Amino acid sequence: MKGVVTSNIGSYEERLKGFDWSIAETELGYKKGDDINIGWYCSDRICRMGSGAKTALIWEGMSGEKRYTFDELRRAANAVAAYLKGLGIRPEDRVCLFLDRIPELYFGFLGVLKTGAIAQPLFSAFGEEALRVRMENAGTRAVITQRKHAAKVRKIIDKLPQLEFIILVDHDGKKPLLARETAFSLEGCAPVEHFECHSTKAESPSVLHYTSGTTGQPKGVKHVHYSLIAQYLTAKWVLDLKEDDIYWCTADPGWVTGTSYGIIGPWSQGITQCVLDVGFSAEAWYKFIEKNKVTLWYSAPTAIRSLMKAGDAALKKHDLSSLRHLASVGEPLNSEAVLWSEKVFGLPFHDTFWQTETGCILIANVPGMRIKPGSMGKPFPGITAAVVDPKTHEPIQDAGKVGLIAIRPGWPAMMRTYWNNEKAYQGKFKNGWYLTGDRARIDKDGYFWFVGRDDDVINTAGHLVSPFEVESALLEHPAVGESAVVAKPDEVNMEVVKAFVCLKPGFTASFDLDLEIMNFVRKKLSPLAMPQQIEFVDSLPKTRSGKIMRRLLRAKEWGEEIGDTSTLEEEE
């Protein structure tokens, strides 16, 4: 093992005593009732503290490398904010960021927040249907995007009457702009030294992230500017960020990890972070770590398992001795991955558990804590977590007994509602607990161990996919009469999407049709939502009321007990 460095959290047990979130408020210089704007805290405040000349971002893409100081970050965010305000963007307007991991995404996120508008980051691999559903639900007024993605927006613009502005950050000045389109160039505009941030308060809305549920369309998770308090402190104590660190969070800001810990957590502390905007390969990742002397690395189990699968040959060609702390997020981290990282890096990956709805890390293996490979760790100070009975929602006292992971509401980064769906939001709370929808057990030492989802949501490579959304897309294909979608086990991605399809009369199952349907879904939704396998069937198992019993199909894929089938329509 590498030499021990004193961690920010110090003693976990000591931190539990008398913990209060005011620790973060004091460190950030915030007092209740003050203005609090995430965009300002991640840029202007850092510059005022004397770190304006410090490197904020090291970005590398196919076109090369770019570096930005905190002063440059601040001016760029100001430029975006001033441009949006000039268009007439108002506080609480939803502004979508539909971009690859280019600098404009990161600076644009802070710029949107400075105006008081709500940032709506969406994964750039989304197809037009996934994009439409989320923008329609949000009532998005403006979208910041690139030429390569503009075609998707143009295809759905007639269905989005509230969308007034399509802002292209890389318009070449050659092709004419279409209706509702406008061009903004971060490279071409003059830096904006001063921008008066909108007077946002603790409960002012900040970010709208979309997550998938079992039924219905994706839900918009509304967060507020006060979430900064929890994101700052969890990043400092769990990820152990220090002033001289070079930090790499591999998550895309289209997902909550990429904003909470790929923008807000590090930049609120004035930390230098790296972004690699190229496809995955073990060689490219190891080279990136070596080149930039990355010290803290926050990644996902899917990526870790992919590195394991690639073998040690690529790893041995690079000097990775700069690494001092590794953490993982998005899905359960299997024990083999922890043991492997200890062997090859001399460091274990520290698993962390949280959700889009929670906004920050809830349960974690914090620095200095004894790691039990395969465990999620223990609740972060200030977080009251339990495993509760699924029926009574009372805490389970027996060590090792499986129940639902439940969190006592009240932490700063907790979502405030689901956008335009307060009923679904209220349904997440029972008996004074927020129910995560995940099952786990707690051992005699207080460590949490993930067991699985309590619903049909598919966790593929750390991203939640709604079976309903995929089934809806499948039914739009002219050959598909009925469909059911479940998770299928996968060695690298943990789970992938599998579809059971009943064809309409006149269509015959074939390899070509299989590929055609897969690509149809991929184009409409995203590569993550595309079924990795389609099984053509004559009928689907249903209850007498006509509801498809996905659990029977899932049990078949996972080799589990089928359980009660008394409600099946074919049974007498």
Q: Tokens 């078949």, residue?
A: 556
Q: What's the pLDDT score for residue 566?
A: 39
Phi, psi of 541, rounded to the nearest 5 degrees: -70, 130
User: Is 359 contained in some domain?
Assistant: no
Residue 309 lies in a domain: no
DSSP-based helix, strand, coil % in the chain, nearest 5: 30, 25, 45
Query: What are the pLDDT digits (tens) for 304-341?
Result: 988 988 888 889 999 999 999 999 998 888 888 899 99
What pLDDT is stored for residue 468 in this prediction?
75
Q: What was the pLDDT predicted at 556?
A: 85
Confirm whether 470 is domain-assigned: yes
Last residue in a domain, options 225, 254, 288: 225
* pTM of the predicted protein model: 0.87
Closest C-alpha to 84, from 174, 178, 160, 198: 198
| Amino acid letter, residue 44 | D
Q: Among candidates 530, 532, 537, which has minimal Cα distance to 553?
A: 537
Nearest to 331 by CA among 210, 469, 453, 214: 453
> What secondary structure does DSSP assign to 23-41, as a single string?
HHHHHHT--TTS---HHHH
Could you identify the residue written with the tokens 């318009």? 171
Q: Per-residue confidence of the chain (572 residues) as pLDDT tens digits?
A: 444 558 999 999 999 998 999 999 999 999 999 999 999 999 999 999 999 999 999 999 998 999 999 999 999 999 999 999 999 999 999 999 999 999 999 999 999 999 999 999 999 999 999 999 999 999 999 999 999 999 999 999 999 999 999 999 999 888 889 889 999 999 888 889 999 999 999 999 999 999 876 556 889 999 999 999 999 999 999 999 999 999 999 999 999 999 999 999 999 999 999 999 998 899 999 999 999 999 999 999 888 988 988 888 889 999 999 999 999 998 888 888 899 999 999 999 999 999 999 999 999 999 999 999 999 999 999 999 999 999 999 999 999 898 999 999 999 999 999 999 999 999 999 999 999 998 899 999 999 998 877 777 788 877 778 787 788 789 889 999 888 898 898 888 888 999 999 898 899 999 999 999 999 999 989 898 999 999 999 988 876 556 677 778 888 888 876 654 433 444 32
Task: Choose one of 225, 252, 273: the last residue of a domain.
Answer: 225
The domain containing residue 521 runs over which residues? 458-558
- The residues, any chain, with a CB within 8 Å of residue 307's CB and separated by 6 or more, are 282, 285, 315
Number of domains present in the structure of the chain:
2
Q: Is residue 232 part of a domain?
A: no
Axis crossing angle, helix 301-310 with helix 335-345, rounded to the nearest 10: 60
Asked if residue 506 belongs to a domain, the reply is: yes
Contact of 235 with 273, CB cutoff 8 Å:
no
Structure tokens, 409: 């509401």
Final residue in a domain of this structure, among 225, 254, 276: 225
Residue 189 falls within a domain, yes or no?
yes
Is 172 part of any domain? yes
User: In CATH, what number is assigned to the domain containing residue 99?
Assistant: 3.40.50.12780
177 DSSP assignment: P
> CA-to-CA distance for 572 and 568, rounded, in angstroms?
9
Report the CATH number that the domain containing residue 484 is assigned in CATH.
Answer: 3.30.300.30
Q: What is the reported pLDDT for 334? A: 83
pLDDT at 228: 98
- Whether 357 and 421 have beta carbons less than 8 Å apart is answered as no
Dihedral Cα 359, 365, 366, 367, nearest 10 deg: -140
Tokens representing residue 525 in the block: 């939704």
Q: Tell me, yes or no, whether 1 lies in a domain.
A: no
- The predicted-structure confidence for 56-68, as pLDDT tens digits, reads as follows 999 999 989 999 9
